[in-house]
């Protein structure tokens, strides 16, 4: 079973120069005097496999692992160890026929790993080795004086060594890893739950807001509908009102100038009539004055006539008296004959009467002088009377004329007054009409003004509506006939709109878009967290399942392993001791403390490894430990404490070999494990080694001749000028070198 090909040391500890050990046979023995550097070889293998404890490699600092300089060579800056494996049978899960693992450290304590020449992480190296049932600390590298470590170990440590030897570490790691993941998952769940509980009040707040917004949206839709109807009606109302006002205004407006013209004319007429009236009045008073004058004159004339009539009467009386005294008067015949002829000549009676009267009159006055004078007086008076009466008649006529002229004037004035009154009546009528029209126009004006307000309101409301209830609110159609414009209903609508607006305002849903966006984001986040939590729960469940599964597997394989170990242990033990009994028992272990190897690690650069190990150790707390029970033949020794040094060594070897037999590691390094054996036991030891080498490659550091005799290749290491030197030896040489 050849896995290990070669080991190359460069500047590691006492190996100043590059030294290559080839492992061509199942058993390789390394021999040499004390202090030549043999153990350094064993340590170099632990080193290259990732040992982190410098102390376990007998150093204080990393630097101690680097060639420190001696006569042979000056001190180096780096220590490198390379282990080359045959991987043709895929010892490692790598698709290479040869695998090399190399580790280099520098004086500044920096460290690097190379896997087939490429840099690798320690963790990867650990996993790779674990997969091939190897480790730096394990069961298959038994350092000098540490053979009985398995006996000295605590119950739990022993269990770990056995688990490691059984190749169960990988399950342990997987389980530890899963538990770590589970822990992390639970932590994540806590975090997610915390986040959820943190955002929960925010979400419920936003939800309420969103509900409010939803409600407000419904109100808004209602409002928009109401607005549309309101606007349609308002629009129709305004149009109808405009039309009506235009119609109402047009007739009066056109009538007004006509009316005003008529009015002006009537007023002009009234004004024009005034001067004529004044003139007539003047004329009338002139007439009246003249009438008065004539009247006064007539009265005077009448008085004078009276006096004249008195005088005349007196004169006539006097005449009559005279005449009475002279009653018979004779008239010459000739006169009478003249008369008779005249009368005969006349055909007309009136002329006859006149001739007669004139005859009589002639003969009446003809008589005496006194009488004549009286007659003359009477005649003069009569003449005067006649003249006066003429005058009076004339005055009367004049008065009558003046009177009738005045009457005529008055008539004229009355007529003028009548016509002026008519004109005034017209004016009143026109004024009344005008005021009626003015009234209409005023009303129309007032309504137009109100309409202008309504229109301005309408425009403002449109803008407001768009803001409050969205664009939809202002997309009203040209509906409704203009008749049905109940302003009361419209006013009711208006009030309802106001009420809805207030409700929207009260809902406090300003910035709705932002709130909804935030709500969506928050609920998305919440949903994400819920999914995350479900995923985590799922992950936690499957991790728990995996942990349980690994636990069961570990337990089962561990117990099976124990049984098989016991078979081998018993066999090897009785072989060594020529009888007796030996077994390992699984017992409840007390709470363990962490392994010292980690605590004294000086290389802290490999944190992931530390974590890894710690997880392992913590995991082990709950587990059972392993007790070793032996009974040596013919001796009443039961406890390990009572064994002699040699017996202890034999027991250890039996157990170690039993472990290796149950689950053979690729190689085993035994550093002077055989030191305490007597000749008989050395032989048995040799037999066991050969047996073991069927399954594992062996590298034996030894001083024991018997052991050397079993090796296929012998290397001698000597110290020359402070540095280790490697020699290939024949068996006889080796025996000499070993001394
Ligand atoms: P023994 O048979 O007595 O157990 P050994 O052959 O196993 O001895 P080692 O213990 O491997 O010998 O080697 C120890 C030797 O290595 C010592 O001489 C020591 O001085 C030397 N050594 C250790 N570290 C260094 C170093 N850093 N530089 C040089 N030499 C070193």
Sheet holding 4-10, edge to edge: 19-22, 4-10, 78-86, 98-106, 111-115, 118-120
Cα torsion 645, 677, 25, 718 to 10°: value is 90
How many domains does the chain fold into? Answer: 2
Identify the residue whose C-alpha is closest to ligand 1 atom 26: 13
Q: Which of 459, 479, 498 is the last residue of a domain?
A: 459
Instruction: Kindly give, in sequence order, each residue whose CB lies less than 8 Å from that of residue 321, ignoring residues fewer than 6 positions away.
Output: none
Relative to the CA of 33, which ligand 1 atom is closest?
Answer: 2
- DSSP-based three-state secondary structure for 587: strand
Q: Kindly give the pairing relationship between strand 697-701 and strand 667-671.
A: parallel
- Ligand 1 centroid–CA 699 distance in Å is 18
Q: Is 626 helix (H, G, I), strand (E, B) or coil?
A: strand
Ligand 1, atom nearest to 67 Cα: 28
Whether 353 is in a domain gets the answer yes
- Same-domain check for residues 224 and 372: yes
What tokens were used for 655?
């157990």
In this structure, what DSSP letter does residue 15 have? B
Where does ligand 1 bind, in terms of residues with CB under 6 Å?
Answer: 13-14, 32, 34-40, 64, 66-68, 144
| Domain membership flag for residue 736 | yes
Q: Which of 40, 144, 717 should be mutated for ligand 1, with most atoms under 8 A from CB? A: 40
Q: The tokens 């806590």 sit on which residue?
A: 190
- Protein residue with least CA distance to atom 1, ligand 1: 34
Question: What is the C-alpha to C-alpha distance for residues 181 and 175, in angstroms, rounded to an integer?
Answer: 9
Nearest to 438 by CA among 249, 247, 267, 266: 249
Indicate the top mutation candidate among 21, 39, 727 to test ligand 1's pocket, ranked by most ligand atoms within 8 A of CB: 39
Cβ atoms of 153 and 595 within 8 Å: the answer is: no
The rounded average pLDDT for each run of 10 residues, N- to C-terminus, in the chain (739 residues) is: 91 95 94 93 93 86 92 93 95 94 94 95 89 80 84 87 86 87 92 90 88 85 89 86 88 88 85 79 85 86 87 84 71 80 79 81 66 81 85 85 85 84 86 89 91 91 87 79 71 91 78 84 90 93 92 91 95 90 83 46 46 50 78 78 84 91 92 88 91 93 92 93 90 71
CB atoms within 10 A of CB 5: 18
Phi-psi map region of 635: left, alpha, beta (phi>0 left; psi -120 to 50 alpha): beta
Distance 63 CA to ligand 1 centre (A): 15
Nearest CA to ligand 1 atom 27: 13
- Most informative mutation of 10, 11, 14, 74 for ligand 1 (most atoms within 8 A of CB): 14
**How many Å lie between the centroid of ligand 1 and the Cα of residue 614?**
32
Domain assignment of residue 13, yes or no: yes
User: Is residue 313 located within the same domain as residue 435?
Assistant: yes
Residue given tokens 């006939």 in the structure block: 481
Separation of alpha carbons 648 and 641, rounded Å: 9
Integer Cα distance of 457 and 72 in angstroms: 110
Q: Is residue 559 part of a domain?
A: no
Q: Is residue 204 part of a domain?
A: no
What pLDDT score was predicted for residue 545? 94
The rounded Å distance from CA 35 to ligand 1 centre is 5
What lies within 8 Å, CB to CB, of 317 at 6+ separation is none
**Statement to judge: residues 118 and 222 lie in one domain:** no
Tell me the residue range of the domain where 78 lies. Answer: 1-134+666-739
In which element (H, E) is residue 76 found? Answer: none
Cα radius of gyration (the chain): 82
pLDDT of residue 480: 57
Ligand 1 atom closest to residue 68's alpha carbon, by position in its atom list: 28
Q: Measured in angstroms, how far is the CA atom of residue 732 from the centroid of ligand 1?
A: 24
- Please state the atom number of ligand 1 nearest to the C-alpha of residue 79: 27
Q: Is position 528 within any domain?
A: no
552-581: string of b/e by CB count within 10 Å (b at 16+)? eebeebbeebbebbbebbbebbebbbeebb
- Of 426, 459, 492, the last residue of a domain is 459
Beta strand pairing call for 667-671 and 141-142: parallel
Predicted pLDDT of residue 484? 59
Q: Judge whether 532 lies within some domain.
A: no
Query: How far apart are alpha carbons 416 and 643 in whole angstroms?
Result: 173
Q: Relative to the CA of 724, which ligand 1 atom is closest? A: 16
How far are the Cα atoms of 197, 527, 529, 541 from residue 186, in angstroms, in the given order?
16, 19, 14, 11
**In this structure, what are the phi and psi dihedrals at residue 74, rounded to the nearest 5 degrees?**
-70, 165
> Which atom of ligand 1 has the smallest separation from the CA of 43?
11
Instruction: Say how many Å lie between the CA of residue 36 and the centre of ligand 1.
Output: 6
Distance 357 CA to ligand 1 centre (A): 225
The answer to whether residues 5 and 119 belong to one domain is yes
108: tokens are 């500044």
How many Å lie between the centroid of ligand 1 and the Cα of residue 37?
Answer: 4
Shared domain for 126 and 257, answered yes or no, is: no
Judgement on whether residues 297 and 435 belong to the same structural domain of the protein: yes
C-alpha–C-alpha distance, residues 548 and 496, integer Å: 70
Ligand 1 atom with the smallest distance to the CA of 66 is: 27
Residue with CA at minimum distance from ligand 1 atom 21? 14
202 burial via Cβ count (<10 Å: 0-12, 13-18, 19+): middle
Please check whether residues 297 and 413 belong to one and the same domain.
yes
Determine which residue's CA is closest to atom 31 belonging to ligand 1.
14
pLDDT score recorded for residue 485:
65
Give pTM, 2 decimals.
0.58
> Helix or strand or coil: residue 275?
helix
Per the DSSP assignment, residues forming a β-bridge with 720 are 723
């Amino acid at each position: 079973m050849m896995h290990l090909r070669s080991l190359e040391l460069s500047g590691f500890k006492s190996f100043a120069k590059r030294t290559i050990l080839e492992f061509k046979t199942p058993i390789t023995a390394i021999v040499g005097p004390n202090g030549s550097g043999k153990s350094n070889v064993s340590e170099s293998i632990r080193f290259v496999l990732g040992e982190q404890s410098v102390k376990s490699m007998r150093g204080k600092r990393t630097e101690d692992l680097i060639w420190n300089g001696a006569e042979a060579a000056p001190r180096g800056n780096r220590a490198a160890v390379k282990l080359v494996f045959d991987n043709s049978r895929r010892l490692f899960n790598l698709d290479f026929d040869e695998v090399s693992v190399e580790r280099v450290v520098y004086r500044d304590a920096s460290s690097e790993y190379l896997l087939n020449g490429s840099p690798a992480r320690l963790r990867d190296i650990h996993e790779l080795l674990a997969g091939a049932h190897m480790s730096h600390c394990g069961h298959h590298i038994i350092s000098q004086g540490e053979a009985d470590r398995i006996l000295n170990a605590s119950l739990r440590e022993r269990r770990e060594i056995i688990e490691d030897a059984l190749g169960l570490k990988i399950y342990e790691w997987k389980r530890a890893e899963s538990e770590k993941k589970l822990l992390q998952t639970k932590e994540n769940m806590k975090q997610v739950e915390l986040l959820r509980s943190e955002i929960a009040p925010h979400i419920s707040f936003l939800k309420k807001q969103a509900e409010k917004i939803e409600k407000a949206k419904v109100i808004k839709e209602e409002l928009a509908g109401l607005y549309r109807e309101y606007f349609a009606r308002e629009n129709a109302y305004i149009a109808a009102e405009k039309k009506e006002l235009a119609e109402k205004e047009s007739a009066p407006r056109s009538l007004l100038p006509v009316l005003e013209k008529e009015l002006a004319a009537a007023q002009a007429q009234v004004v024009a009539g005034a001067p004529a009236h004044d003139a007539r009045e003047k004329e009338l008073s002139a007439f009246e004055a003249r009438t008065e004058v004539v009247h006064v004159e007539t009265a005077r004339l009448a008085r004078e006539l009276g006096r004249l009539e008195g005088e005349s009467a007196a004169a006539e009386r006097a005449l009559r008296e005279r005449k009475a005294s002279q009653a018979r008067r004779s008239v010459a015949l000739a006169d009478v004959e003249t008369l008779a002829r005249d009368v005969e000549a006349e055909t007309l009676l009136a002329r006859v009467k006149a001739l007669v009267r004139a005859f009589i009159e002639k003969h009446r006055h003809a008589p005496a002088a006194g009488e004549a004078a009286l007659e003359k007086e009477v005649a003069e008076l009569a003449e005067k009377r006649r003249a006066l009466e003429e005058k009076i008649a004339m005055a009367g006529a004049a008065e009558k004329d003046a009177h009738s002229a005045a009457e005529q004037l008055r008539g004229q004035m009355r007529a003028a007054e009548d016509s002026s009154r008519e004109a005034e009546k017209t004016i009143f009528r026109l004024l009344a009409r005008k005021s009626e029209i003015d009234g209409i126009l005023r009303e129309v004006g007032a309504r137009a003004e109100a309409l202008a307000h309504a229109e301005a309101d309408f425009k403002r409301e449109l803008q407001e509506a768009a803001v409050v209830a969205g664009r939809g609110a202002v997309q009203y159609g040209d509906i409704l006939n203009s008749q049905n414009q109940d302003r009361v209903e419209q006013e009711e609508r208006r009030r309802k709109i106001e009420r809805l607006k207030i409700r929207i305002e009260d809902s406090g849903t300003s910035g709705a878009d932002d709130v909804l966006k935030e709500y969506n984001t928050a609920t998305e986040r919440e949903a994400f967290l819920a999914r995350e939590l479900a995923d985590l729960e799922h992950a936690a469940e499957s991790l728990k399942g995996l942990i349980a599964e690994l636990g069961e597997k570990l337990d089962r394989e561990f117990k099976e392993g124990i049984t098989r170990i016991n078979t081998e242990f018993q066999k090897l033990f009785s072989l060594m001791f020529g009888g007796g009994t030996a077994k390992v028992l699984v017992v409840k272990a007390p709470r363990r403390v962490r392994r010292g190897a980690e605590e004294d690690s000086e290389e802290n650069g490999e944190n992931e490894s530390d974590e890894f190990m710690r997880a392992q150790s913590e995991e082990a707390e709950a587990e059972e430990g392993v007790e070793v029970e032996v009974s040596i033949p013919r001796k009443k020794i039961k406890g390990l404490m009572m064994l002699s040094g040699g017996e202890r060594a034999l027991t250890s070897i039996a157990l170690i070999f039993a472990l290796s037999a149950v689950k053979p590691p690729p190689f085993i390094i035994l550093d002077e494990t055989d030191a305490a054996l007597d000749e008989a036991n050395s032989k048995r030891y040799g037999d066991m080694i050969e047996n073991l080498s069927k399954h594992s490659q062996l590298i034996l550091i030894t001083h024991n001749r018997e052991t050397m005799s079993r090796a296929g290749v012998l290397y001698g290491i000597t110290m020359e000028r402070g540095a280790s030197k490697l020699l290939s030896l024949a068996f006889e040489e080796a025996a000499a070198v070993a001394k």
